[in-house]
Amino acid sequence: MKSCSNRNRPRTSLLKDSPNEAKRYALKLISIRPRSRRELHQRLLRRGYRDVTIRQVIQDLSEIGLINDAALTEQLISYGLRDKGLGIRGLKELLHKRGIERDLIENAGLEDIDEYPHALKIAEKLKKRSSHIPADKLKRRIMGYLQRRGYSYDTIKEVVRRIGDPSSGNEKMSETDEI
């Protein structure tokens, strides 16, 4: 009986060498959703194509603009902020997971993003949904939620302070509550 650990590894004798098949498979993957160069390379490698074939396919698709890591970076940042509610750390993790190169992540301008308004909006939603929860428990929930989404400690601290401000509408939390 064969070991399961070798199931996903292509045997060297079984490596595929057809550039047309590789390109067709790459186009299929790209039609599902945009992919980074690294993602596409890994998927084609897993499918059993030779490294030389993969590099050529990726180069061809990049030249005609079907693979563009810089544009994908911008799309992922927008998606991460708008739909996933991620902070800067969370955005960096998302980009890394999707195969964006480190230099593109560093040059993406993430440090220019003001994460405070995004974090405040999320916290206000949580506060509205959780009006029956005691202030200290609500504060812990908000802090944990924002932390898991990659917001900085300073941003979280400021958001919790703002949410706890009586002028913001929550009488249960006050400025004297410590974080």
Q: For residue 147, what pLDDT band results from cuts at 50, 70 and 90?
A: very high
130 or 177, higher pLDDT? 130
- Reading the block at residue 4, the tokens are 């399961």
Does the structure show a pLDDT above 70 at 122?
A: yes
Q: Mean pLDDT across the stretch 50-59?
A: 95
Residue 33 CA to chain centroid, in angstroms? Answer: 14
Write out pLDDT tens, residues 71-98: 999 999 999 999 999 999 999 999 999 9
Does the structure show a pLDDT above 80 at 165?
A: no
Which backbone phi and psi does 9 adopt, to 5 degrees? Answer: -95, 125
4 or 112, higher pLDDT? 112
Tell me the whole-structure pTM to 2 decimals: 0.78
Secondary structure of residue 154 in the 3-state scheme: helix
Residues 6+ apart with CB under 8 A from 116: 155, 158, 159
By residue count, the chain amounts to 179
Mean pLDDT, rounded, of the chain:
87
DSSP 8-state class, residue 50: -
Write out pLDDT tens, residues 31-46: 999 999 999 999 999 9
What pLDDT, on the 0 to 100 scale, is given for residue 175? 42
